[in-house]
Amino acid sequence: MRKVRVTAERKYFKKVIVEIEIPENLDQEYLDRWLWQNEDKYDWKVKNKFVDTKHILDEEVWRYDELDSEGIPTYGGHL
């Protein structure tokens, strides 16, 4: 008898938004570098917001895989 593995996966995520002030004279091309160098200005705000934020269901994926005699998937697809 052959075997098929059915897998269901739900993906959840949390999204938070924080706003911080940046220097007026900061060129846009250096914004990412400034953010890395000033992570202390927003890191704690993001982490604190994650605590109070609920998960949101993003998607649900179902798939099947036919297994060989050793339990290794040989063929499959999405359901």
The proportion of the chain whose per-residue pLDDT surpasses 90, expressed as a percent, equals: 27
Q: DSSP of 35-58, one letter per residue?
A: HHHTGGGTHHHHHHHHHHPPPEEE
- State pLDDT tens for residues 48-71: 998 988 888 888 888 888 888 888
Q: Which residue has the higher pLDDT, 29 or 76?
A: 29
The token pair at 20 is 């911080």
pLDDT, averaged across the chain: 88
The proportion of the chain whose per-residue pLDDT surpasses 70, expressed as a percent, equals: 100
The confidence score (pLDDT) of residue 12 equals: 87
- Residue 2: which of 75, 79, 77, 61 has the closest Cα? 75
Domain limits, the chain: 1-10+58-79, 17-52
Quickly count: other Cβ atoms within 10 Å of residue 73's Cβ: 14
